[in-house]
């Protein structure tokens, strides 16, 4: 079995220990020959490595490990790039959330003017740079990209690279599948074969087949309608704040019982109620800073107290880590496993544009994803998707054309935004907050 060289880009992230843990636990399915950790923030990079190195050494004695802020070193002799960067860090996530809220508009990491347009225009140049470097030093590598906002990023990488050996992915549909399988008493998310269509963070499950070929969606819908979401995914997706999402999830199913939604639709279908529940002085970014990030710093403190005897923490598994390693393994060994991924439509959803980046099931082969084609989608879902797609495409236009007008259109057309006057105010604040992270808009 050939072995793989992986670089994690954005390795200083709080999500990296989960990815490393999955890489180590899946040693038989996806053996490593080298692990590189790369970040532009040297301190954070070493902090994560300090926490994980005992576990790495124990699982893979003698493995080549590279911990670096140098691009050439990071990307040379690599088979798989796992990109999961947050351009501008949690600080700019916080402004993405707070600026729209100031004007009564949804302030969310990946949705609305902050999450989709502001974060999108910040991420695009960073991702393009990473992919160029990766292709320069390892021309045959595969790039698996988690970096958000994945819908906008995927559209940009389509335009720039035709998504050649690039796979854009997101853990949310899989995390939701995990909740479903728990509710149905099944042992893993792989127990259900999902039928699904949408854009990233904007889609619907239409069927869920179990190993005996039975569609369990009707049964699950009844369970949700009577008792709500009684199980919620993995550790990441069950803290106090995420619980609110699962509560709202049942409301979406009550109003739209035909399919089962991606939880992110709450921000588009109940925008004003979501705004009413948000606190401009304490958004999700603050909770992540106080929660997940602090936990990681506390862990590192333990390491510093006794580096010699420190044992890496074994966490509850994360969908985020397992999914990316499974996808890479399916590419590396031509397994053809079925996953929900972001691909160019090309007829998969027959009544959506061919050049839309959509999220659908695909069989993951060595030469890339082979998407499944589905029947034409209903008017309601199509209308919702076309609106959101226009906003995402306009954000990418705004970036490539340095266009203020396109950025304004991207925000104004977004379903979360009530008027052009508000869109303009938000855009002007975002320009200031993003500074050099954004191109100069003309
Ligand atoms: C899900 C999404 C990710 C997103 C994350 C935010 O996992 O798929 O794209 O980044 O949620 O979670 P957080 O706990 O940081 O708010
Ligand atoms: Mn996601």
pLDDT tens for residues 100-150?
A: 999 999 999 999 999 999 999 999 999 999 999 999 999 999 999 999 999
Catalytic residue among 79, 96, 171, 429: 171
Q: Tell me the C-alpha distance between 248 and 38, whole Å.
A: 37
Tell me which residue has its CA closest to atom 10 in ligand 1. Answer: 148
User: Could you say which ligand is closest to the alpha carbon of residue 341?
Assistant: 2
Per-residue model confidence as pLDDT tens digits over 172-199: 999 999 999 999 999 899 999 999 999 9
Residue 375 is classified by DSSP as: P
| Whole-number average pLDDT of the chain | 97
Confidence at residue 315, expressed as pLDDT on a 0 to 100 scale? 86
Compute the distance from residue 208 Cα to the ligand 1 centre, in Å: 23
Report, as ranges of residue numbers, the positions in the chain whose pLDDT lies below 70.
Answer: none
Per-residue model confidence as pLDDT tens digits over 349-358: 999 999 999 9
Listing DSSP states for 66-89 in one string gives EEES-HHHHHTT-SEEEE---TTH
User: Do 339 and 172 meet the contact criterion of CB atoms below 8 Å apart?
Assistant: no
Q: Is 112 helix (H, G, I), strand (E, B) or coil?
A: helix
Surrounding residues of ion ligand 2, Cβ less than 5 A? 170, 172
The preferred substitution site among 106, 109, 359 for testing ligand 1, maximizing ligand atoms within 8 Å of CB, is: 109
Compute the distance from residue 170 Cα to the ligand 2 centre, in Å: 4
79 assigned to active site: no
Nearest 10 degrees: CA dihedral of 352, 357, 359, 364?
A: 120
Confidence at residue 317, expressed as pLDDT on a 0 to 100 scale? 86
Checking DSSP bridges between strand 202-209 and strand 260-261, what pairing results, if any? antiparallel
- The set of protein residues with a Cβ atom below 6 angstroms from ligand 1 is 109-110, 148, 170-172, 175, 284, 288
pTM tops 0.75: yes
Confidence at residue 187, expressed as pLDDT on a 0 to 100 scale? 87
Q: Tell me the C-alpha distance between 275 and 278, whole Å.
A: 5
Annotated binding site for Mn(2+): 170, 201
Catalytic residue among 60, 75, 249, 264: 264
Q: How many helices (H) and strands (E) does the chain have?
A: 18, 12
264 assigned to active site: yes
Tell me which residue has its CA closest to atom 2 in ligand 1. Answer: 172
Compute the distance from residue 306 Cα to the ligand 1 centre, in Å: 32
């Amino acid at each position: 079995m050939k072995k793989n060289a992986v670089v994690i880009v954005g390795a200083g992230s709080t999500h990296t220990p989960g990815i490393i843990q999955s890489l180590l636990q899946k040693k038989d399915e996806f053996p490593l020959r080298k692990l590189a950790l790369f970040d532009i923030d040297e301190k954070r990079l070493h902090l994560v490595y300090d926490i994980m190195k005992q576990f790495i050494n124990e699982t893979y004695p003698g493995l080549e490990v590279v911990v670096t802020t140098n691009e050439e070193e990071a990307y040379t002799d690599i088979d798989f790039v796992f990109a999961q960067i947050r351009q501008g860090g949690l600080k700019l996530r916080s402004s993405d959330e707070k600026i729209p809220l100031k004007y009564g508009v949804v302030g969310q990491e990946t949705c609305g003017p902050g999450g989709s347009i502001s974060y999108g225009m910040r991420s695009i140049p960073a991702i393009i740079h990473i992919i160029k470097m990766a292709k320069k030093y390892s021309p045959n590598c595969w790039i698996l990209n988690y970096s958000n906002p994945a819908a906008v990023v995927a559209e940009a990488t389509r335009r720039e690279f035709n998504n050649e050996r690039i796979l854009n992915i997101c853990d949310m549909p899989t995390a939701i599948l995990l909740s479903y399988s728990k509710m149905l008493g099944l042992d893993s998310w792989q127990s259900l074969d999902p039928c699904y269509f949408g854009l990233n963070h904007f889609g619907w499950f239409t069927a869920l087949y179990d190993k005996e070929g039975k569609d369990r969606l009707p049964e699950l819908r009844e369970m949700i309608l009577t008792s709500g979401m009684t199980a919620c995914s993995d550790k990441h997706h069950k803290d106090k704040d995420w619980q609110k999402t699962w509560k709202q999830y049942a409301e979406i199913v009550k109003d739209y019982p035909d399919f089962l939604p991606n939880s992110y639709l709450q921000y588009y279908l109940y925008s004003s109620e979501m705004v009413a529940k948000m606190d401009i002085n304490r958004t999700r970014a603050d909770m992540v800073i106080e929660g997940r990030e602090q936990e990681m710093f506390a862990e590192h403190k333990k390491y510093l107290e006794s580096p010699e005897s420190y044992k890496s923490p074994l966490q509850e598994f994360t969908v985020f880590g397992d999914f990316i390693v499974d996808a890479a393994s399916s590419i590396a060994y031509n397994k053809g496993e079925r996953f929900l991924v972001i691909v160019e439509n090309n007829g998969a959803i027959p009544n959506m544009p061919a050049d839309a980046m959509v999220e659908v099931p695909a069989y993951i082969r060595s030469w890339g994803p082979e998407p499944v084609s589905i029947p034409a989608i209903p008017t309601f879902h199509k209308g919702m998707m076309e609106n959101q797609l226009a906003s995402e495409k306009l954000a990418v236009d705004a970036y490539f054309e340095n266009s203020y007008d396109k950025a304004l259109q991207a925000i104004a057309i977004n379903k979360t935004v009530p008027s052009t006057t508000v869109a303009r105010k938000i855009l002007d604040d975002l320009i200031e907050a993003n500074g050099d992270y954004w191109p100069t808009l003309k």
